[in-house]
Structure 1
Amino acid sequence: MNIYQWVGAVLSVSMSLASQAADVVQRGSGAWRTQVSSADNPVPAAPFRTPAMLERAAPTNQWYSSVMFTRWSEVLHAVPLTAKASAKGLEVGFPQKTVVPTERKDVEILYPHKADVTLRPLGFQPTAALLAGHSDWAVDIAFELEKSSMVTTLAHGSPFVYAQLSQGDLSLDLATSLTGRLWPADPRVLLLSDAIKTYAAFAPTGAQWVQAGPSWHLRLPADRRYASLAILPNDQDSTIREFLAQAYSHIVETRAEYRVDRQKSEVITSFKVKTRTMEGPEGTGMVGLYPHHWHQNSALPPKSVGSLGSIRGDIRLFASSSFETRYRHTGFVPQWPGVQDAVQSKAILGNLSKEARRARRMMLEIGQGPYWQGKGLQRISQLMGVADAEGDVKTRDELLSLVKGRFEEWLSGQSKRTYFHYSPTLGTVVSYPEEYDAVKDMNDHHFHYGYWIRAAADIGLRDPQWIKPERWGGMIDLLVADIATAERGRKDFPYLRNFDPYEGHSWASGVALSPDGNNQESSSEAINAWAGLMLWGALQGRPELVELGTYLYATEIQAINHYWFDIHGLTLPKEYQNVEVSMLFGGKLAHNTWWIDEPRQIHGINLLPLSASSTYLAESPAFVHKNMAALDNEIKIYEGRGKRAKPHDIWQDLFAKYVALVDPAKGRARWDEWGSVELGDTRTHAQHWLAFLEGTGAPDLGVTADTHFYAVFKHANKGKTYLVFNPDPQARTVRFSDGVSVQAAPGKLTVQR
C-alpha cells in the first residue's frame, strides 16, 4: 500500500470513528477536526460539476478551476487560446498583447480575452457550464439543459477546440472584425479571419455551412454531431492541409509521466495525448510546445507545423501525439555544515545565543494562521540547523524541543482556534485561523503546507521517532496528501492540487475567479514545498515521494528560469521594462506584490525562503547582478514618488544571501549585520550562509551526482567542496559527474573538500 492508498484508508476509518470522539478524529498522536468552528469559513462549494466529477475530489488551483465555482466560468487561459463559458456557449479568443502603464513607472503586459468565435448550440439553451472531465492539461466543459448537452474540449498548447453535441446544430457567432469564407479545396473547412489572425473551423462529412448574418450555422448529420475550431499560424493552403489532417482527432486524455534517472541526475517527462479519430484517416494529434519544452531540447517531434505567439513566448506546433523533456536535477542537501573559519564561527555562535533566547517570540511575530506559523516553524528549524552545524548541541536541543512543542499544539486537534480540518466537500485539508483566503478561495496550500512539511523534516533529521506515522508524522502526511497526491481520480484528494504539469509550475488561487486567469506570485515558496516533500519522503523511507518531489522541484525551476526570470531571453516582450516577473498570471505579467508595490518586497518574494535548497538561484550569475541593479534603480524611482520602505533596509539579508550565491564577496558587502531581517529568516542563519559561501565559493551547478541530495561548491583558490546527504541506513558511494566519488555515511551529511 503506497502513501496515497494509506491516507485514503485512514481517512475512511477515521470518518467512521468520528462520532466516537465528538468532532475530533485521531491521527497518531495528532488529530483533525470534522467540524469548523462557528466563526470560521467553510470550504467553498464547487457545484458546477457533472455527477461523475462530483464523485471525485475537486481539481482546485488549476487554470480551469473557475468552471466548478460559477455557473459560467471566468476566462480560461489555455495559452495560446483563451476561452470563457457564457450563457451563449463557449467563447474562444486568440489574445493579443496589451501594454498597460502603471504608477510605478513601468508597465504590465496583458493578453486579455476577447470573444472571436462563440460555439453556440442551436438545439437548446444551456442553463450552466459544468466541469465534465479533466486530464493533465486538457479540460472538458459541458453546456447542459436536462438531457441535451454540448461538450467542449480545450488544452494547454493546443491550437484546437473541439465540440460534440447530443442533438441539434451548431452556430459559430463571430466578432464583428471577423469574416468567413469556405476553403475552395474542401467544403468542410470554413476560414474565419481578420487583419491579425485566421481560424479554421472543420465540419464533419455530410454537414453544411450556412451563413446567417454575423454567424455561420453548421447543419450537422444526425450521426456526426461534432466539429473543431483551430487558430492557424498562417493562412497558407499547406498549413490548412496540415491542420485538416488533425482536425478530426479529438483529444480524449492528456498525461505527463515522469521518471528520475539517478545516474544522470535527470528528470525525464513524457507528454502523451490520447485522441479519438471521428472520421477519415487517424491523425497523430497536434501539440504546442512552450519555451521550457523546446529550449535546448534535442528530441523534438520531427514534423513542425509553425508557431504562435503567446504570453509565454513562442508556442511551437508539432503534428505529434507525444514529446519528451529532460531536465537536469540540481541537487541540494538539508543544511550546510559548519564554517571553517574560527573567528566567523565564534561570531555566529554569539548571534545564535541571542536569537535562541528570543526564539519563542520569533516563531510567530506577525499573523496567527498557518502561513505565518509555518514560516515561523521553518525559521526556527533553520536556526536549529545552524546550531547543529556549529556544534552547539545544547541550543540545538532547546530549539528542537521548542519547535516540536509548537507543532504539537497545532496538530493535536484540541484547540477550536488553531486546528486542521478535513473537508470531503472538495477533498482537502484546511487550517485555521484562516490566512490569505486559504479556505474561502482555497489559496496557497502549497506555500503554507510547504513550510510545515519542511520544518517537520528538519525535526525528523534529529528525532526520527517523532515523525513516525503513529506519532506526529501522520498529520504531516495529511498535509502532503493535500498538495501532492500522485494518483489521478481519487475521491479524497485531487492529483497534484497546485501543480500544472504542462505549464511546469504551480498555481496559487484555488478558485481562479479572475479575468486574468490563475496566478502565482512566490515561485520560491513553491520550490520550498517540493524540497520539503523530497526530504520528508527520504526520512519516511518513501522513495516514490522523493521521486515526485524531485520531478516537481526540477520542473518548477525550469519554469521559473523561463517565465519569472527569463534568464534565456526567450519569453519577456520587449515592451516589458522590468527584468523579472513577480506575479505570473494566465493572462498577465506584473511587477508587483499582492500587498505593496515596494521594490525590495517585489523582488524578494521570489527569493524567500532562502535555504540550502535555494542553490538553483545561482543558475545565471549575470541575471542575479542584473536583477540587483534593477532593484537599486527601482528603489530610486519609488523614493522619487515620495515613498519609503519600513524599515528603510527591509529584507537586506535576503539580497545579501542571494548575491552571495554567485559572488560571496559581493554578498558579504551587501550585508548589514545589524540591519533588518526578513521574518522567515534569522540573523544567525544569514551570517552562517555568508560565511559558509566565503569559505567554499559559489554553488557549481554544472556538476551532478547519482543521488537526490547533493551539492557542489567551487572556490577560486580552495577547489571544490562536495556535500552528500545519505538518508539510507547503509553507507553508499556517490559518484559525481566530474569523476569525484564520495563515501557517504548513513543517515548524515558527508563533507569532502
Structure 2
Amino acid sequence: MTFPRTSRPARTLTVLAASALALAACTAPADGGTDDAAQASSDAGTAAPADLSAEAAAIDAAAAELPTTTGPFAGEIAVADGVAPPTNSWLTPAVFAPEDRPIFTGVLSARLTGDTLGLGLPQPETSAKVVMGAHPQHVELALPADRYELERVDALSGTFAHYDGETLTGRVTLAEGWPYAAYEAVTAQSIELPAATQPADGGASAEIGGITYRFVTDAPLSGTTLELPAGATLVVFAEPAGSSDADREALLAGAVPLAGTSVEHAVADGNATTTFRYDTGGTPTVVAARPHQQPTLSTDGRVLDATIPTVYGDLALASGTEASFSVPELTPVPELDLSGLTEDERTQVTDLLRADLAGVTFDAADSYFAGKQLQRAAQLYLLAGRLGLDAEAAALKDQMLAELDRWFDPAGCTGTDEKCFAYDDVLGGLVGMQPSYGSDEFNDHHFHYGHMLYALGVLAGEDPSLVERYAPVADLVAWDIAAPEESGAFPQRRAFDDWYGHSWASGTAPFGDGNNQESSSESVNAWTGLTLWAQAAGDEAMAEQARWMLANEAATAMEYWVAPELPEGFGAPSVGINWQGKRDFATFFNADPAAVIGIQLIPMSPTSAAYLGAEPEALQALVDHAVPGGDPTGRPLVDYVVMAQALTDPAAAEAMLERLPAEQVDNGNSLSYLTAFVFAQK
C-alpha cells in the first residue's frame, strides 16, 4: 500500500555523521503531614524515585496534603511495586487489561498474556471512513510463566517481567520507534518458534502472513525449538518488504537488547527540537521515524532504503542509536488582535459582549464544562479590557476568581464532591470533582485542565499576585498532565507521547486498537494553557517543556488530523479519532461531519489561527465538508467551523455568521468572541 504525498513537497532525510463514572467519597489526609519526600510520595500513592529532585519532592508533599479519592476502576493493574500505573500511554492496554488487548509500538504490535508473547506487523487497510491496522498474531511464543507485570518504564520503552508463580523466568522489552521485540531468558528454558521457522543468518526466520520474521539469537536451535540458557536473549523483528542486502545487514546487526531510552528537547531559534536515544550499550540498532519527523530527521547512522507502511504513512528507518528532528515553534497568543476592526465592528462586538457578560454563569459542577466556562470567561475578560469596558472586566474578574478559589482550594474536596481536586491513590493523579467523560478513569485530563490553566494563565499573566494564591493546586494540576520528571505522585508527561508527538486521551485504554485521541485542538489548547500558567508563575523549565509540547502537538494535529495525507479510498478530508491501530472519520458523540471536524477546532483560541491557518486549502476542504452549501443551521459545533472559515475567507465566514442561530453557539464559546474572531481575521 502506498500513501501518495501530492499536496506537499517530497520529504527528504538528512543523515549526520556519528557524533555525540461511580465516585468514592473524598477523604481528608491524616493530620500533620511530613517533610520526608519518600513518605510524602508513598502517601500520594507510589514510591518515590531514588533521584527525586527538590521540586518533585515538594510536589509530592503537596499532593499528599490533598483529600484522596478512589475512582471506579476496579480491574487488575499489572505493574511491579514502585512503578506508577502508566495511564494515557501506549503501554496502557497491557497494564490495565492483562492478557486481553494488544499494544502498538508504532512499528510492531504485541499481545502479552501470562504465558505467551504474540507479535505482528500490522498491515494497513483502507475503507471509506477507516484506515485499519489491527494487530496480527503472526508470531506466538509460549513462555514458561503464568503472569506478567510492567517492571520498568521510561520515555519510550517498557519491560514486562514474566513469572511462574513467584519465580522470574523472563523479560520482554518493547519500545516506541524500535522495530524489535527483545526477550531475555532469566531461567534456562525452551521456546518453540513458529512451524514455518527455518535456520537463517543470525538465528532463524519464518514467513507468516506474507511477512518474513527474523529471530536473532546465539542460542542453539533444534528444528523449531530454541534452547535458551539463563541470560540468553531472543530479538524478533519483521523484515520490511523491499529490503536491500544492506538493509537486512543493518537490521540484523541492530537486533540487540535494549536497556532503556531517553528523550531530550529544546526550543530555540524558532524550532522545537526532539532527540530520541536508545541505550544499546553503544551498539548501533535501527530506529523508525514518523512522517512528520522525516523532513528534518538527522541520525547517527545510515537511512535504510526500505520503509514500513503504517496507518499513519510510511515509517523511515535508520541505523544508529539516536534520532533528532524539529518542528516550527508555536507561540501562544492569549487574545485577539482587534486593531483592524472598524468602528462599526467594534460597536457590534461591544453590544454583543455586554449581553454575553450579563449572562455569565459558573454553574457546571464537573471539571470539563467548568473548565470551558472558565476559558470562555477569560476570552470575554480580554475582550472587555480591550474594548474599554473596564468596570465590566473587573466585575468578571471577580466572578472568575470566586470560581477559581473553589477549584484551586487545597482542602476544597473536604466535605464536598464538586468544584475541587482530589488525589486518586490507585491510578496516581488528580481528579477534578465532579468527573465527566470518564475523567475519574483518567480520560481527557489535559482537555479539562487545559481550559482551566488557560483562564488562570490569562489572569495571573496580568496580575502576578494570583500566582501565590493558586500555585499550591495549579502546579499539581500541571504536573498531573505534564510532569517534567517522574515523581512519587505523578508519572512523567502523563498525557503526552514523546515519540508520536501528540497526546493520548484514554486513561485505561479499554480498546483493541490501542490508545486514542479525538480532539487534537483541545490538546493544543492544553499546552497553550500550561504555557500561559508556567510563564505567569515564572516556572521556566515547565514553560519550555510546554512550548515544546505545544509545537509538536500543533504539528501532529495538522499532519494527522486536520490536513492529513490519506490513502486512496478514504472518503473524508480529515480524521476525527486517531488510534494507535486505526484512524476514523468519526467522533465518540456525533457522526455529523460538522461534529467530526468541529472537534478538531474547539475552542478556537487566538493560538488556533496560527497553526490551523497554515494550510488554508486543507482547512477550506474541511469547511466545505462540514457545511456543504455554507448553511450552518442545525449542525453541531458549527460555530467553530464558521471561525475556521474566517481563516480562509472572512467574507464567507461573515455570511455564515449571519445565518447562525444564536442557540447554536457552543457553551465554551460566545457570540461576541465568535464575532470578534471573524472580524479579526480580515
User: TM class, shorter-chain normalised?
Assistant: 0.7 to 0.9
Contact 2:332–2:607 under 8 Å retained in 1: yes
Q: Could you list the runs of 5+ residues in structure 1 that have no partner in the other structure? A: 16-24, 26-31, 101-105, 277-281, 637-644, 695-753
Give the whole-Å Cα distance in 1 for the aligned partners of 2:582 and 2:190.
32
- Residue 507 of structure 2 corresponds to which residue in structure 1? 510
Give the whole-Å Cα distance in 1 for the aligned partners of 2:117 and 2:305.
26
What letter matches 1:454 in structure 2?
Answer: Y
Contact 1:370–1:448 under 8 Å retained in 2: yes
- Residue 261 of structure 2 corresponds to which residue in structure 1? 254
Larger Rg: 1
Deviates more, 1:127-136 or 1:350-359: 127-136
TM-score, normalising length: structure 2: 0.86
Contact 2:375–2:451 under 8 Å retained in 1: yes
Contact 1:119–1:170 under 8 Å retained in 2: no
Q: Share of identical aligned residues, percent? A: 25
Map 1:340-379 onto structure 2 (within 5 A).
Answer: 340-360=341-361, 363-364=362-363, 368-379=365-376
Contact 1:4–1:486 under 8 Å retained in 2: no
What letter matches 1:294 in structure 2?
Answer: Q
- Residue 429 of structure 2 corresponds to which residue in structure 1? 428
- Residue 82 of structure 1 corresponds to which residue in structure 2? 109
Contact 1:67–1:129 under 8 Å retained in 2: no
Map 1:90-169 onto structure 2 (within 5 A).
Answer: 90-99=117-126, 106-121=128-143, 124=144, 126-145=145-164, 146-169=166-189
Pick from 215, 222, 232 the counterpart of residue 210 of structure 1.
222
In 2 relative to 1, CA 472–58 (structure 1 residues): closer, same or farther, beyond 3 Å? same
Please report how far the alpha carbon of residue 604 of structure 1 lies from its aligned counterpart in structure 2 after TM superposition.
0.2
Contact 1:446–1:483 under 8 Å retained in 2: yes
- Residue 739 of structure 1 corresponds to which residue in structure 2? none
In 2 relative to 1, CA 14–433 (structure 1 residues): closer, same or farther, beyond 3 Å? closer
Contact 1:655–1:670 under 8 Å retained in 2: no
Give the whole-Å Cα distance in 1 for the aligned partners of 2:59 and 2:160.
33
Contact 2:367–2:433 under 8 Å retained in 1: yes
Give the whole-Å Cα distance in 2 for the aligned partners of 1:542 and 1:238.
48
In 2 relative to 1, CA 291–385 (structure 1 residues): closer, same or farther, beyond 3 Å? same
Please report how far the alpha carbon of residue 564 of structure 1 lies from its aligned counterpart in structure 2 after TM superposition.
1.1
Pick from 619, 625, 629 the counterpart of residue 630 of structure 1.
625
Give the whole-Å Cα distance in 1 for the aligned partners of 2:205 and 2:561.
36
- Residue 99 of structure 2 corresponds to which residue in structure 1? 72
2:205 aligned counterpart, secondary structure? strand
Please report how far the alpha carbon of residue 327 of structure 1 lies from its aligned counterpart in structure 2 after TM superposition.
1.5
1:391-444 deviation per Cα after TM superposition (whole angstroms, max 9, x unaligned): 1101111111111112223333155121211133332011222211111x2111
Map 1:391-430 onto structure 2 (within 5 A).
Answer: 391-412=388-409, 413=412, 415-418=415-418, 419-430=420-431
Give the whole-Å Cα distance in 2 for the aligned partners of 1:190 and 1:305.
23
In 2 relative to 1, CA 3–537 (structure 1 residues): closer, same or farther, beyond 3 Å? farther
1:661 aligned counterpart, secondary structure? helix
Contact 1:258–1:551 under 8 Å retained in 2: yes
Contact 1:625–1:659 under 8 Å retained in 2: yes
1:644-679 deviation per Cα after TM superposition (whole angstroms, max 9, x unaligned): x9x714433211211212332232232136542111
In 2 relative to 1, CA 537–46 (structure 1 residues): closer, same or farther, beyond 3 Å? farther
* Residues 1:327 and 2:290 aligned together: no
What letter matches 2:181 in structure 1?
Answer: V
- Residue 290 of structure 2 corresponds to which residue in structure 1? 290
In 2 relative to 1, CA 622–296 (structure 1 residues): closer, same or farther, beyond 3 Å? farther
- Residue 50 of structure 1 corresponds to which residue in structure 2? 80
Over the residues paired in the alignment, what is the CA RMSD in angstroms?
A: 2.5
2:648 aligned counterpart, secondary structure? coil
1:228-250 deviation per Cα after TM superposition (whole angstroms, max 9, x unaligned): 11101146654433222122x21
Give the whole-Å Cα distance in 2 for the aligned partners of 1:221 and 1:493.
38
1:68 aligned counterpart, secondary structure? helix
What letter matches 1:665 in structure 2?
Answer: A
In 2 relative to 1, CA 238–537 (structure 1 residues): closer, same or farther, beyond 3 Å? closer
- Residue 234 of structure 2 corresponds to which residue in structure 1? 227
What letter matches 2:156 in structure 1?
Answer: W
Contact 2:138–2:208 under 8 Å retained in 1: no
In 2 relative to 1, CA 657–194 (structure 1 residues): closer, same or farther, beyond 3 Å? same
1:276-322 deviation per Cα after TM superposition (whole angstroms, max 9, x unaligned): 4xxxxx63111011111113547784342521111121111111111
1:250 aligned counterpart, secondary structure? coil
Give the whole-Å Cα distance in 1 for the aligned partners of 2:503 and 2:173.
22
- Residue 577 of structure 2 corresponds to which residue in structure 1? 583
Pick from 236, 239, 245 the counterpart of residue 253 of structure 2.
245
Map 1:614-653 onto structure 2 (within 5 A).
Answer: 614=608, 615-633=610-628, 648-653=634-639
In 2 relative to 1, CA 165–307 (structure 1 residues): closer, same or farther, beyond 3 Å? same
Give the whole-Å Cα distance in 2 for the aligned partners of 1:35 and 1:157.
36
Deviates more, 1:502-511 or 1:649-658: 649-658
- Residue 526 of structure 1 corresponds to which residue in structure 2? 523
1:333-355 deviation per Cα after TM superposition (whole angstroms, max 9, x unaligned): 21124344111111111111111
1:34-88 deviation per Cα after TM superposition (whole angstroms, max 9, x unaligned): 356xxxx35657641123xxx2432211011123223325210112211011243
Give the whole-Å Cα distance in 1 for the aligned partners of 2:205 and 2:264.
36
Give the whole-Å Cα distance in 1 for the aligned partners of 2:602 and 2:344.
28
Please report how far the alpha carbon of residue 558 of structure 1 lies from its aligned counterpart in structure 2 after TM superposition.
1.6
What letter matches 2:537 in structure 1?
Answer: Q
Please report how far the alpha carbon of residue 684 of structure 1 lies from its aligned counterpart in structure 2 after TM superposition.
0.5
Map 1:641-720 onto structure 2 (within 5 A).
Answer: 648-672=634-658, 674-675=661-662, 676-694=664-682
In 2 relative to 1, CA 172–583 (structure 1 residues): closer, same or farther, beyond 3 Å? farther
Give the whole-Å Cα distance in 1 for the aligned partners of 2:118 and 2:532.
44
- Residue 476 of structure 1 corresponds to which residue in structure 2? 474
- Residue 595 of structure 1 corresponds to which residue in structure 2? 589
Please report how far the alpha carbon of residue 172 of structure 1 lies from its aligned counterpart in structure 2 after TM superposition.
4.1
1:614-641 deviation per Cα after TM superposition (whole angstroms, max 9, x unaligned): 12101101101111222235999xxxxx
- Residue 485 of structure 1 corresponds to which residue in structure 2? 483
1:514 aligned counterpart, secondary structure? coil
Give the whole-Å Cα distance in 1 for the aligned partners of 2:63 and 2:212.
56
2:149 aligned counterpart, secondary structure? strand
Give the whole-Å Cα distance in 2 for the aligned partners of 1:524 and 1:551.
16
Give the whole-Å Cα distance in 1 for the aligned partners of 2:87 and 2:416.
26
What letter matches 1:487 in structure 2?
Answer: E
- Residue 732 of structure 1 corresponds to which residue in structure 2? none
1:490-530 deviation per Cα after TM superposition (whole angstroms, max 9, x unaligned): 21110000110001000001112211100000011010110
* Residues 1:544 and 2:541 aligned together: yes
- Residue 467 of structure 1 corresponds to which residue in structure 2? 467
Contact 1:203–1:218 under 8 Å retained in 2: no
Give the whole-Å Cα distance in 2 for the aligned partners of 1:221 and 1:84.
24
- Residue 27 of structure 2 corresponds to which residue in structure 1? none
- Residue 728 of structure 1 corresponds to which residue in structure 2? none
What letter matches 2:306 in structure 1?
Answer: G
- Residue 25 of structure 2 corresponds to which residue in structure 1? none
In 2 relative to 1, CA 674–474 (structure 1 residues): closer, same or farther, beyond 3 Å? same
Please report how far the alpha carbon of residue 179 of structure 1 lies from its aligned counterpart in structure 2 after TM superposition.
2.1
What letter matches 2:359 in structure 1?
Answer: R
- Residue 47 of structure 2 corresponds to which residue in structure 1? none
1:293 aligned counterpart, secondary structure? helix
Give the whole-Å Cα distance in 1 for the aligned partners of 2:587 and 2:108.
26
